[in-house]
Structure 1
């Protein structure tokens, strides 16, 4: 009988640990990944994914259509954004927030910062995406089917909580529309930029461009990520004036608006 209870306790612990998803997920949503990138072309329901656990590091077909609420990378990564877990908290931002028909904003940024508040746990993820009205907080997974007609990109990075402040510093410049935040201040006491972001304290003083650097959490092979951002006060065209100079590479940029690169990319359903 004692052995039975030991097994039961171990099983409960494993299930509880697994249920607290605050990391990126592999292609099928069945295990943690250091990072994952999914591109869905216009007219597709599934898309292509590349993620850290794939030894070939090559693009694969998505495991499920994005409107499925399970068994694919981003459905699992978002399960405690669309559902509830007392140890998982998050901040979500979107210039077209779920359930809001129209909003005036200076930003087109979309993403979620997710972290665990479980004791002795350092687990977090940052998801950046292009999908308007997604994901709705705490109301179940609901991919907007109308967005299947458009191309979309979703990027997930598994990070340590110490990286969140640098992410917040970059977001302050782009003035995101925060539509949900339940991250307690006790978790962010040493994160001044995050607290400014959560409180809506947007800087109006220079500098108007920023480069922040973060690293993914994999202790063996972390990925260094550079984040470039600029405020609307900056007249810089960020691709030509900033990114090309840093990369020292030729890049190609597509715009649905016109053939000219501008310092302002805002507009209805205009993604670059």
Structure 2
């Protein structure tokens, strides 16, 4: 299926003109996008559709809110358990002993129940049942243990997919020889053709190296085309320039670059700096740090 056919299928989905199987396929694309498993090829047309179709963007945001709500509800429910509180209070070296102690306690409780039953029976208790119950109890504890760490150690690519959103372009007016080049670059970016946009912004900067607008959008174009080293370098240049209107936004996207590159320490430092600003990106930084 070509990108054009996939976009047409999304249009039909929004109009309610698909079979159940076709609807499931579109919902799978959205789920893959939100979980960070959508292929690079599909990301290109998907992001383009998000920018150009408000109804589709609202649908994806709704799916994201539903996922976040479910995750939050599950997390809050688990945090009420004594196991969560005990493990949270333990260091890594203490956790193994913590689990061993719980296994011992379970065995003692099962043994006590066995002793109470013996006087009422003419036959000894089935030991295999006892060991089976012990195994079930151990599996339950281990399952909660794994769940705890899964909840508190999200993979960087999952967090990136959850928090990354293409930056919507703003109209920028310029005079001089670079005007046509910049307009072409902005148009390509707006249309989701980030490869062309990157080349055009590079040309723009060759003519006007101090143009902070072109440099910021060039960094984002690199990010969209998975040129992460170039994106990192360019966004750093925006931040290091004389304080400008893009500084905070560049910090946010650079933090995401660090995150996807497994530079969690660098990402956290930037997010902490953003957190001091109680604006839009400050709040997003707080939310992201809670999940790292």
TM exceeding 0.5: no
* Larger helix fraction of residues: 2
* Larger strand fraction of residues: 1
* Higher Rg of the two aligned structures: 2
TM-score normalised by L of structure 1: 0.25
